Amino acid sequence: DTAVSQTPKYLVTQMGNDKSIKCEQNLGHDTMYWYKQDSKKFLKIMFSYNNKELIINETVPNRFSPKSPDKAHLNLHINSLELGDSAVYFCASSQRRTGALNTEAFFGQGTRLTVV
Amino acid sequence: AQKVTQAQTEISVVEKEDVTLDCVYETRDTTYYLFWYKQPPSGELVFLIRRNSFDEQNEISGRYSWNFQKSTSSFNFTITASQVVDSAVYFCALSEDRRGGADGLTFGKGTHLIIQP
Q: Does B62 touch chain A (CB under 8 A)?
A: no
Q: Does B107 touch chain A (CB under 8 A)?
A: yes
pLDDT surpassing 70 at residue A100 = no
CA distance A48 to chain B (A): 7
The mean pLDDT of chain A is 90
What is the secondary structure of A30-44 as a DSSP string? SEEEEEEE-TT--EE
Q: Which of B2, B39, B45 to mutate to test the interface with A (most CBs of A within 10 A)?
A: B45
Q: Does B35 touch chain A (CB under 8 A)?
A: yes
> Could you read off the pLDDT tens digit of each residue along chain B, which spans 117 residues?
789 999 999 999 999 999 999 999 999 988 899 999 999 999 999 999 988 898 888 888 999 999 999 999 999 999 999 999 999 999 999 988 776 666 789 999 999 999 999
pLDDT surpassing 60 at residue A99 = no
Contact present, A21 and A6 (Cβ < 8 Å) = yes
Q: Which of A71, A91, A104 to mutate to test the interface with B (most CBs of B within 10 A)?
A: A104
Interface A-B: count of C-beta contacts within 8 A: 74
Q: Which residues pair with A64 in a beta bridge?
A: A78
Q: pLDDT tens digits, residue range A17-43? A: 999 999 999 998 888 999 999 999 999
What is the secondary structure of B53-89 as a DSSP string? TT----EEETTEEEEEEGGGTEEEEEESS--GGG-EE
